[in-house]
Amino acid sequence: MKDRQEAQARLKGIFNITMTPFTREGALDKAGLARNVERVIALGYDGVLIGGTYGEFPTMTVAERAEVFTHVMDVIGDRIPAMLCSAGSDPRDVYELTKLAGDLGGVPMVTAPYVSEITDDQIVDFFRDVAPLSKTGIIIYNAPGIGITLSPALISRLADIDGMVGLKQGDLNPTAIDRIANDLRGRVRTFCASDLAFLGPVMAGFDGFSTTNSGALPELILATYRALEAGDASTARDLHALWYDYRALARAHGQPQLVKAAMNLRGFDGGSVRLPLRDIPAAVQPKLRAVMEGLAADSRTGLKLAA
């Protein structure tokens, strides 16, 4: 993507939050990462999100994150849009990665710096500093799980900054979703940050959502979104219900841990997580396999497990 206008126009639909596969020793598997990207492109995903929270960016150095950005953009070219997470607690790292992301043709995704006692005005000033660094604009990442929860009122202020093209909303409180869907409509693109509960925000008017579990269930989650996109809410609801047992395991044992384990069962490049995360315990594997086998037995899911 060459500029902000093109980036904002293309930021819509279903974006796969691509798993970053690591070996058990912690090395980055670049070939596996490329295969994970190519898989969702082939299935028809609208975009990818690289190096996000579930892409394990907090466990990577700035140099590793830059390497991941460059590698993925070499793989993608201009075929689909890519969100490249340049979040961090040190603004110097954020500036460096944000500029790189825009220069590569991706769209950087930025959180507020997760430091204590930061004020709303200081967050606004931070985004004003970051915005000019990216030629493709900035996606505001409201990520309560790793830092500060941005209020709808503060998000509205941030959306007014020149260069803001999107919001990835992690606070799924229904009141916040309603305010954001209506207040930001036509101003910036809005994305629900969770595939565990995306039906409501998309129905409320969000432009799309990002999905971690599509690493393991890409066919099913894509079919669910396409049904919703076509106005068939009942089919979307029924398809979403199919993987409730999987969601229960994900909530109990964590993402990306469960996603990677399920990907490995399918013969995909899940690999391992990096410390301080740990791969799911051996005792959980039979439960996950049973859930995955149940999904594979239902023709509506499109799933097949590795032989």
- How far is residue 242's CA from residue 139's CA, in Å, rounded to a whole number? 31
Which secondary structure element, helix H or strand E, spans residue 138, and what is its range?
strand 138-142
Is the bond preceding 256 in cis, omega lying within 30 degrees of 0?
Answer: yes
Averaged pLDDT for residues 275-301: 97
- How far is residue 102's CA from residue 108's CA, in Å, rounded to a whole number? 6
How many residues make up the chain in this entry? Answer: 307
Domain 4-296 sits in CATH 3.20.20.80: no
Mention every residue, 6+ apart, whose C-beta is less than 8 A from residue 119: none
**What is the C-alpha end-to-end distance of the chain, expressed in Å?**
39
Burial 236-256 (b: 16+ CB within 10 A, else e): beebbebbeebbebbeebebb
Which secondary structure element, helix H or strand E, spans residue 17, and what is its range?
strand 13-17
pLDDT band at 114 (very low <50, low <70, confident <90, very high): confident
Question: For residue 146, is pLDDT > 90?
Answer: no
Q: Which of 36, 62, 13 is nearest to 270 (CA)?
A: 36
Helix (H, G, I), strand (E, B) or coil at 113: coil
Query: Interior CA angle at 217 toward 281 and 45, to 5°?
Result: 135
* 18 contacts 33 by C-beta, under 8 angstroms: yes
pTM here is 0.96
Helix (H, G, I), strand (E, B) or coil at 108: strand
* 33 contacts 230 by C-beta, under 8 angstroms: no
**Whole-number average pLDDT of the chain:** 96
Q: Which two tokens stand for residue 240?
A: 């979403």
pLDDT tens-digit profile of 166-216? 999 999 999 999 999 999 999 999 999 999 999 999 999 999 999 999 999
Sole residue written with tokens 């999107």: 166
pLDDT band at 116 (very low <50, low <70, confident <90, very high): confident
Q: How many CB atoms lie within 10 A of CB 50?
A: 29
Long-range CB pairs of 75-78, under 8 A, 24+ apart, other chains included: 75/34, 75/37, 75/38, 76/37, 76/41, 76/48, 78/1, 78/105
Question: For residue 86, is pLDDT > 90?
Answer: yes
- How far is residue 68's CA from residue 28's CA, in Å, rounded to a whole number? 9
Question: For residue 145, is pLDDT > 90?
Answer: no
Which secondary structure element, helix H or strand E, spans residue 292, and what is its range?
helix 285-296
Averaged pLDDT for residues 58-76: 97
* 28 contacts 64 by C-beta, under 8 angstroms: yes
